[in-house]
Amino acid sequence: MRDEGPWTVPTEQSSGESRRQGAITKSGSRHARRLLVEAAWHYRRPPRLGTTLERRQQAQSEAAIAIAWKAQQRLHRTWRRLDTKRGKRRTILAVAVARQLVGFVWAIATAD
């Protein structure tokens, strides 16, 4: 996976065969990191197309809408999988989902 933002990269301590990953680094934009993690909390709930979202999507391209819908489904699935099967703390879940969210934001920004 390409590295879209330094604020979502975990710290790493490696020596020989051992590899330990820690918390995300504090490099990059503090504001962007906070916004991404806050946005990630919304993926706890299943994706649905409400009237407000439907109205907002009218001015968007079909490619952006398709990427956004794929993102909603995948990020909710990731949240649910990590929460139920692995029992991760919810703050860690939010950061993991935020990291994936960066990829979808990048895809929409670079879509033709």
Q: What is the pLDDT along the chain (112 residues), one digit of tens a residue?
A: 455 555 566 677 788 888 777 777 777 788 988 999 999 999 999 999 999 999 999 989 999 999 999 999 999 999 999 998 888 889 989 999 998 999 899 888 888 6
Residue 10 within any structural domain of the chain: no
Residue 11 within any structural domain of the chain: no
3-state secondary structure string across the chain: CCCCCHHHCEEEEEECCEEEEEEECCCCCHHHHHHHHHHHHHHHCCCCCCHHHHHHHCCCCHHHHHHHHHHHHHHHHHHHHHHHCCCCCHHHHHHHHHHHHHHHHHHHHHCC
Residue 1 within any structural domain of the chain: no
Assessment of whether the complete model's pTM goes beyond 0.85: no
Residue 47 within any structural domain of the chain: yes
Residue 17 within any structural domain of the chain: no
Residue 60 within any structural domain of the chain: yes
Range of the domain at 44: 28-110
Domain count within the chain: 1
Residue 9 within any structural domain of the chain: no
Residue 48 within any structural domain of the chain: yes
